[in-house]
Amino acid sequence: MQTIISPLLVSHRLSLAPPVPRLLNNYHHRARPSIRLSSHRSTNSLRLFSSAIVAAAASRDSEMATEDVQDPRIAKIASSIRVIPDFPKPGIMFQDITTLLLDTEAFKDTIALFVERYKDKDISVVAGVEARGFIFGPPIALAIGAKFVPMRKPKKLPGKVISEEYSLEYGTDKIEMHVGAVEPGERAIIIDDLIATGGTLAAAIRLLERVGVKIVECACVIELPELKGKDKLGETPLFVLVSSA
């Protein structure tokens, strides 16, 4: 069933972009610049907190909804992410985490924030989505003593695999996992650098659920909330550090 998140934990759950101008990230339409104003913060924080809070079964403590505490590490992490316009195609503002990886403190803090959240949750599986999920997943897995399970594009994994198809803007793609990597009843988190439309993460969830694994949460560094990827995750909660809207 759903993990109940305590209010203490929610106070760490920071999902606000820093109050500096950030370009609107909009994958499918023409990008337009947008400034995040501090007057919008509390509304956004309500929306983002509620998106990160466990849906359905969790009792929503009213204190949690109004809390607006930002972990001091988040601002540095957010500012270390580089936005590249028109990549991979015109109109897309690409969120580049490679600059975060060049900032040793920001990278360390990113991992620490996830580790602090998951270390006492009996997670035995950290699944990472190729390829940038391979950068964030293993350090988390190592720190919490979990297995790392790579979820890969087709034909990369040797031996027996199971696969799950998902939709792209045009056409479909597949994500694969090794047969026998995980066991029924294991508790997992799924990691990727970013959630956009949620298609890949939703496929990863389906893949793990098919073999009887409980997905405790999906965790990403960045969310593009306008693309409503969270809605594709069904009952699985989403935790993000930075929201780019």
Partner 1 sequence: MSGNKEEEDPRINGIKTKIRVVPDFPKKGIMFQDITTVLLDPKAFKDTIDLFVERYRDKNISVVAGIEARGFIFGPPIALAIGAKFVPLRKPKKLPGETIFEEYELEYGNDRLEMHIGAVEAGDRALVVDDLIATGGTLCAAINLLERVGEEVVECACVIELPELKGRQRLKGKPLCMLVEYR
Could you list the residues that contact partner 1 (CB under 8 A)? 82, 84, 87-88, 94, 96, 98, 101-104, 107-108, 111, 130-132, 134-136, 138-139, 141-142, 145-150, 152, 155-159, 178, 181
Q: How far is the CB of 148 from partner 1 (least distance, A)?
A: 4
- Report in angstroms the alpha-carbon separations of 102 from 99, 107, 136, 140, 219: 5, 8, 14, 18, 21
For partner 1, which is the closer residue by CB, 40 or 147? 147
With 0-12 / 13-18 / 19 or more C-beta atoms within 10 angstroms meaning exposed / middle / buried, residue 147 is: middle
Of 13, 22, 73, 132, catalytic: 132
Q: How far is the CB of 169 from partner 1 (least distance, A)?
A: 17
Q: Are strands 93-96 and 82-85 parallel, antiparallel or unpaired?
A: antiparallel
For partner 1, which is the closer residue by CB, 156 or 210? 156
Q: Identify whether 131 is preceded by a cis peptide bond (ω within 30 of 0).
A: yes
For partner 1, which is the closer residue by CB, 54 or 78? 78
- Of the candidates 172, 160, 237, the one whose C-alpha atom is nearest the C-alpha of residue 199 is 172
- Residue for token pair 């003593």: 145
Instruction: Classify each residue of 169-187 as buried b or exposed e, where b means 16 or more C-beta atoms within 10 Å of its C-beta.
Output: eeeeeebbbbeebbeeebb
For partner 1, which is the closer residue by CB, 49 or 148? 148
For partner 1, which is the closer residue by CB, 37 or 84? 84
Q: How far is the CB of 155 from partner 1 (least distance, A)?
A: 7
Q: How far is the CB of 86 from partner 1 (least distance, A)?
A: 9
DSSP E strands: which ranges in the chain?
22-23, 33-34, 82-85, 93-96, 125-129, 147-151, 161-167, 172-178, 187-195, 214-223, 238-243
- Tokens for 53? 């809070």
Q: Tell me whether residue 116 is one of the annotated catalytic residues.
A: no
Q: Tell me whether residue 169 is one of the annotated catalytic residues.
A: yes
Q: How far is the CB of 145 from partner 1 (least distance, A)?
A: 5
- Residue for token pair 């066991």: 183
| Residues present in the chain in total | 245
Residues assigned a catalytic role: 132, 169
